[in-house]
Chains A and B, each alone.
Chain A
């Protein structure tokens, strides 16, 4: 639009004539058009490659026991060889094309899995699925940096998360398995370069979703002999996500451009809400706390690390800000951790937890009202509503009492929205 305005201005000032103006318009229109076409071509290239690769995998499931072992072995290597030729050609001639880069990368990624899988079939090799997956992922990792390919990075992340859940998850007293974390380091440099070079691109966005989801799933693998410590650990992780999701990097972008913010916010409220139930505390305390080795337990070390990171982020965020600007979800991790450990010895903490959630709801409403942001305001109301519903399920109030409380909350929704909209209207008119 600003280009159009510039051209109009130049035309009106007599700097360019009509013909030049229309030439400029035509030039930029064709450029935009061909950029859109290339993007479409890339998307179709990626989809086509995925389908071809998956089709080959399905063919793999159909054993070829009528052929001799050597012929079957040749077919086992064939997809891999084709993929390697495709990648070689891309590196030599098509480095600038996203369709070729991502298409050849996905093809060879799937071909690696196919090859190993076919060889296992041909020779009836036993072996668990997790060792198969980790071998596959390690052989595919170079593609992320060589081509480079962000799709393979995403597929790798899915693969290692699957591998992580298949190893000793929710441990049985066995040693902590850190292989997933070591494998995760493999794509961190790629993720960093995406953030630095193409921060608003689709691939960066997809990573901003898959990485927090993967981390949330895999944090549970630290649970060994002292699982209850994982609750404050998760709240600290969600606080870190919240800080990342509300950082300046994501400022001005859609709240769902990354998973850090939704997981951070909803995860924190979810855990807090669970601990507003007396039953939850009973459940947690029913396995008496295993003090043996608690200090050096992996869960405690994890909690310490996450707490320190969250505190650092909290200080960085609020160092130069007035206390009134502080958002409740930025500090709740500290309060929850404190209340949690107090709660292990005192049953009154459940009341404090309810107040904490209520205060978060009220402060969120206030923040939404001040910023004139209906989404945040209604989210605050939702938190309070869910809290009240939880108490209804939990306590023995009469139907009349519950009905009255619902009416009050419902009226609260209407009133706050009405007043905010009224304020907007009067500002508009004023």
Chain B
């Protein structure tokens, strides 16, 4: 095989690899978004800035504690079963080291952070904690968020699609309204 031919073959393989990686990322996410089950997680707010990835709203979840009766260590791959309360919000149930045998919905996670133990429960760092927004909207979104959290009737939540342990953050609702619409309404009011 001539050197020229080898170069073109290497080029073709490189192109396929470079297109395949983002494509596989997309395929996985789209599958969960289209075919997953919807859960609403109650949230609390924060906000940093990631230059490489655009501005995002960082979420903290009020229901992030799960029962862990077995020995759990940092770095372990675990399966956390999820339930829904009377108001339809999701909560974490048990931390398991193997796939749940029942038909229960679950999240598959690697516990990368320090394990904060409270008797027979641990705090879990939920992975869907970033919601990307256009720069001009992110800060306003953050303010809306905080106001909503501090009000008595806190109905801010993250809408998450879950399928086979994989989760995709779909939206944030501020008092039932998608955050993007809530921010656009405010922007329209102040004439931005």
Q: Is the CB of A63 within 8 A of B132?
A: yes
Chain B: CB-nearest residue to A120: B53
Q: Mark B54-67, 1 if CB is under 8 A from A, else 0.
A: 11100000000000
For residue A117, which residues in chain B have a CB less than 8 angstroms away from its CB? 52-54
Q: A61-B51, A112-B18 are in contact. Are A126 and B128 (CB under 8 A)?
A: yes
Tell me the complex Cα distance, A120–B54, Å.
Answer: 10
Instruction: Give bound CA distance, A139 to B13, whole Å.
Output: 11
Chain B residues, CB < 8 A from A142? 10, 13-14, 17
Q: Does A73 contact B (CB under 8 A)?
A: yes
Residues of chain A in range 47-94 having any CB-CB distance to chain B below 8 Å: 57, 60-66, 73, 76-77, 80, 84, 87-88, 91
Binds A, one of B20-28, B40-48, B148-156: B20-28
Beyond A116-B22, A116-B25, A123-B29, whether A62 also contacts B54 by CB under 8 A is yes
Residue of A with least CB distance to B135: A62
Contact of B11 with A87 in the complex, beta carbons under 8 Å: yes
Contact B130 A124 (CB under 8 A): yes
Nearest CB of chain B from residue A156's CB, rounded to whole Å? 14
Q: Are B137 and A65 in contact (CB under 8 A)?
A: yes
Count A-B contacts at CB 8 Å: 99
B7 on interface, CB distance cutoff 8 Å: yes
Query: Residues of A contacting B139 with CB < 8 Å?
Result: none
A417 within 8 A of B: no
Q: Is B169 among interface residues, defined by CB-CB distance under 8 A?
A: yes
Residue of A nearest to B131 (CB): A124
The minimal Cβ–Cβ distance linking B59 to chain A, given in whole angstroms, is 10
**Is A115 part of the contact surface with B, judged by Cβ < 8 Å?**
yes
Contact A125 B25 (CB under 8 A): yes
Contacts of A165 in B (CB 8 A): none
In whole angstroms, what is the CA distance A139 to B22 when docked? 11
Q: A73 CA to B27 CA in the complex, in Å?
A: 11
Interface of A is mostly: helix
Assess whether A63 is in contact with B130, with CB atoms less than 8 Å apart. no
What residues on B are CB-neighbors of A135 within 8 Å? 21
Pairwise interchain contact A146-B132, C-beta atoms closer than 8 A:
no
Q: Say which size band chain B's interface belongs to.
A: 35 or more
Query: In the complex, are the beta carbons of B135 and A63 less than 8 A apart?
Result: yes
Complex CA distance for A116 and B33, rounded to whole angstroms: 19
Contact in complex: A119, B26 (CB < 8 Å) = yes
Q: A62 to chain B: which residues have CB within 8 Å? A: 54, 134-135
A324 contacts the other chain (Cβ, under 8 Å)? no
Given A117-B53, A125-B25, A135-B21, 15 more pairs with CB closer than 8 A: A63-B135, A65-B137, A80-B18, A87-B11, A119-B25, A120-B25, A120-B53, A121-B54, A124-B128, A124-B131, A125-B29, A129-B52, A142-B13, A142-B14, A143-B14
A sample of 23 inter-chain contacts (CB < 8 A) reads A61-B54, A63-B132, A63-B137, A63-B138, A73-B26, A76-B22, A88-B11, A108-B18, A115-B22, A116-B25, A117-B53, A117-B54, A119-B26, A120-B25, A121-B53, A122-B132, A123-B29, A124-B130, A124-B169, A125-B25, A125-B168, A139-B17, A139-B18
B residues adjacent to A (C-beta < 8 A): 7-8, 10-11, 13-15, 17-19, 21-22, 25-26, 29, 33, 51-56, 127-135, 137-138, 168-169, 180
Interface residues of A (CB under 8 A from B): 57, 60-66, 73, 76-77, 80, 84, 87-88, 91, 108, 112-113, 115-117, 119-126, 129, 132, 135, 139, 142-143, 145-146
